[in-house]
Amino acid sequence: MEQKNSYEKIYDIVKQIPRGTVATYGQVAALAGNKRWARVVGYALHVNPDPEGIPCYRVVNREGRVSEAFAFGGENRQIGLLEADGIEVKDGCVDLSKYQWRKEIF
């Protein structure tokens, strides 16, 4: 059986984030198998090989803030993509109580 590397695990999780929801870096890290990988999630998303298929714009920080350094067009591009998904972004921030993906960690 082929062993997946950390980036592949992260991309697999990000692909599951439903339209209209967001996940935090830490949440993606925990779901990918290591709650301490939040920075690794950031690195992986910055070099996302398939932005169309891996919706990295749906990942925000623990406060719901979008990335000022969004790799695929900057902060305003991320906000535009989130708003196109039906997610309200106010002052660069998403209301996690309303839009955070509720996926259980097994």
Q: How many residues does the chain have?
A: 106
Question: Out of 56, 79, 82, 96, which one is annotated catalytic?
Answer: 56
Give 17-43 as a 3 state SS string: CCCCCEEEHHHHHHHCCCCCCHHHHHH
Handedness of CA 42, 53, 11, 91 (dihedral sign): positive
Please say if 56 is a catalytic residue: yes
Q: Does an H or E element contain 77, and which?
A: helix 74-84
CA distance 61 to 94: 10
Could you list the active site residues? Answer: 56
